[in-house]
Chain A
Amino acid sequence: MLGLNRNDFLMLLFVFVLVAAAPIFLNPFPEGSTFAQFNAGYPDLMQRFLIFGIFAIGFNILFGLTGYLSFGHAAFLGAGSYAGVWMLKLLTINVIPAIVVSTIVAGVFSLMIGYISLRRSGIYFSILTLAFAQMSFALAASVLTPITGGETGLQTTLSDPRILDGAAAGTGNIPAPSLFGLEMGHSWKVAVGDWLWTFNVGYYLCAFVLMIVFYISIRIFRSPFGMMLKAIKSNNERLSYTGISPRPYTLAAFVISGMYAGLAGGLMVSMDPLAGAERMQWTASGEVVLMTILGGVGTVVGPVLGAGIIKYFENIFSKINDGLLEQWFAFMPDGLADFMVTIVHPFVGKGWHLSLGLMFMLVVIFLPGGLVGGVTGLFRRLFRRRSH
């Protein structure tokens, strides 16, 4: 179905159900309960799950298939963000031009950077991409201030011309990004018993886009083009003695993944019309590498999972403070409760990086195929044992 084999189609269906029902199962705890802190079903965070999922899916097309490790992909996300905000400022508050143009701008930008960086491979390629991204970051924060808004960032204002739907100056308030009048921030709240579910317009736009680009990525993985990319990772030199020129293949993969990053940037500003230079910084480039490795390099669904886990840690674990810990351990005797709080304290709140780091180390050491690789390996072993 849809040009996919049975397993791929089932996986697509699985991701569809997951994404469509996320507002429900990401809020497993009733409002106001002890563990409501772990609920992730609020629009802002859910949008980020999907946007970074798209970013990581694209990154995986380059890194997972060809093995070329780019350390500068945040530059394309940043370029896409700026392009998107400019569309919202100049053209219309409708998000569609913003999303389309940000993808195209990132594509052109990645064509230029990729053309130069791909003259080298291995660590030199990584360093070149890192250098370009840091250069973009520094330029965006300083000399390019007229285009990027410098350190304060770029955002929509009252004085924007917006040639398609008229300036907002007359009405006195800055319009919110919308899809043909339907505002991205609009939500429907549904209360079932003590549970509260939020269905957000922006989230479902992101979900729609993610499903399309996830489908495209599966098609790329299963195409002759995708096979050539895997061959580049496996034995680049042999490929040229086979009559294939590896360079256009790696460049095409680089541009496709750059466009995915730009698309993620475009969606980001469609949800919140603000773009800052820090989005291009090397930490942002490193984050997508972590997401991809954590979920499973070269697996189709791994990057989405990795993106979700890292964003969950960043937003949920970081909010657990000592007050909450004391509340949770209140049922224990005083001394023991204090002891538990002291033990858990470094791993949560501001220490969330420690938990994430430990988890990352465990995955890299014990599950070299990432979480998805580990789970499929486990299933294969169980299945084999049963069939004997």
Chain B
Amino acid sequence: MTVALEVKGVNKRFGGLQALNDVNLLVDEGRIHAIIGPNGAGKSTLLNCFVGKLKPDSGTVLFNGQNLIGRLPHQINQAGVSRVFQTPEIFSDLTVLENVMIPALAHRDGIFELNALRPLRRETDIRTKAVDVLEDLGMEDKLDMTAASMSRGDKRRLEMAMGLVQEPKLLLLDEPTAGMSRADTNNTIDVLKHIGDSRGITMIIIEHDMHVVFSLADKISVLAQGTVIAEDIPQNIKGNPKVQEAYLGGAH
């Protein structure tokens, strides 16, 4: 089994708070790896260290053998790591279709392209690709809507489309179903499962909804107070006494 992402001894301190304490993680290629844990366990902080938003105090994050620490967000994305944000981070003034075409163009053209005179409507390949992804997520009837005018659930789905359209090697999902209806959640699970199986994308998913976690994850890491307290296949996590203590026994 090849390792897609290897996290070694990552530490991050905010003032007096040790947000991440010697975190180690092995994510297998082509698998879905869930990170769970109580609020404030450091899950989002860890994800921020992967995408260049935060720089850890020490430790390395190796993606296919190359260290991601110290690289800029756009360089990390161009290396094949896409992130789906927890609170929708979309281009509110643009249309749904444009929101998805931007990451698709970034994937094809790289960090900068001075194509100032090429008409956007001639980019039919990019458009088709974006429409296909939006169709998968059931948003084909909202292509020309302004992103700002959509419901919270739709914004979450748009976020997902922006990540998926890049065909990343590693997809980071930060609570992808938060704010979605039950039906949309189930649809999202199906989409992610389908993509995981058909394209072999490695995924790291942070999630509070245990239904989502146990439907998708091949492996689960449990984070509590900045430390990984357990890493195992889903069946074994449920019965792990340390995990039960962290969630129920008041780790604080």
Contacts and interface: CB of A to CB of B under 8 A. Distances in A.
Given A238-B89, A242-B162, A244-B74, A231 B102 contact: yes
A227 interface: yes
B73 A223 contact: no
A241 B89 contact: yes
A226 interface: yes
Contacts, number: 110
B77 A241 contact: yes
A219 B117 contact: yes
A321 interface: no
A3 B119 contact: yes
A173 interface: no
A230 B94 CA distance: 8
Contacts of B247: none
Contacts of B94: 227, 230-231, 234
B117 A220 contact: yes
A211 to B, nearest CB: 16
B24 to A, nearest CB: 25
A224 B118 contact: yes
B103 interface: yes
B114 interface: yes
A228 B248 CA distance: 47
B116 interface: yes
A224 B115 CA distance: 6
B117 A237 contact: no
A300 to B, nearest CB: 14
A222 B166 contact: no
A260 to B, nearest CB: 13
B121 interface: yes
A249 interface: yes
Contacts of A196: none
A66 to B, nearest CB: 12
A172 B16 CA distance: 82
Contacts of A224: 101, 105, 109, 113, 115, 118, 120, 123
Interface residues of B, number: 39
Does more than half of chain B's interface fall in helix, strand or loop, or is it mixed?
loop
Given A227-B101, A234-B94, A238-B91, A243 B120 contact: no
Contacts of A230: 91, 93-94, 98
Q: Place the interface of chain A in its size category.
A: 20 to 34
A239 B77 CA distance: 10
A308 B98 CA distance: 33
A222 B92 contact: no
A225 B78 CA distance: 18
Contacts of A387: none
A237 B89 contact: yes
Nearest to A8: B119
A33 B92 CA distance: 53
B231 to A, nearest CB: 27
Contacts of A171: none
A223 B119 contact: yes
B91 A234 contact: yes
B251 interface: no
Contacts of A234: 91-94
Interface in A111-152: none
Contacts of A227: 94, 98, 101-102, 105, 120
Nearest to A249: B112
Given A231-B91, A235-B90, A244 B98 contact: no
Contacts of A353: none
A166 interface: no
A7 interface: no
B162 to A, nearest CB: 7
Contact of B117 (A223, A235, A240, A245): A223
Contacts of A240: 72-74, 77
B116 A244 contact: no
B106 interface: yes
Nearest to B80: A243
Contacts of A243: 74, 77-78, 82, 103, 106-107, 110-111, 166
Nearest to A237: B89
B207 to A, nearest CB: 20
Give the 3 A-B CB pairs with smallest separation, nearest first: A243-B77, A243-B106, A245-B111
Given A225-B116, A234-B92, 10 more contacts: A219-B116, A222-B119, A222-B120, A224-B118, A224-B120, A227-B94, A235-B89, A242-B166, A243-B103, A244-B74
24 contacts: A223-B115, A223-B116, A224-B105, A224-B113, A224-B115, A225-B114, A225-B115, A226-B120, A227-B120, A230-B91, A233-B93, A234-B93, A235-B91, A239-B102, A240-B74, A240-B77, A241-B73, A241-B89, A242-B162, A243-B82, A243-B111, A243-B166, A244-B106, A248-B112
Interface of B: 51, 53, 72-74, 77-78, 82-83, 85, 89-94, 98, 101-103, 105-107, 109-121, 123, 162, 166
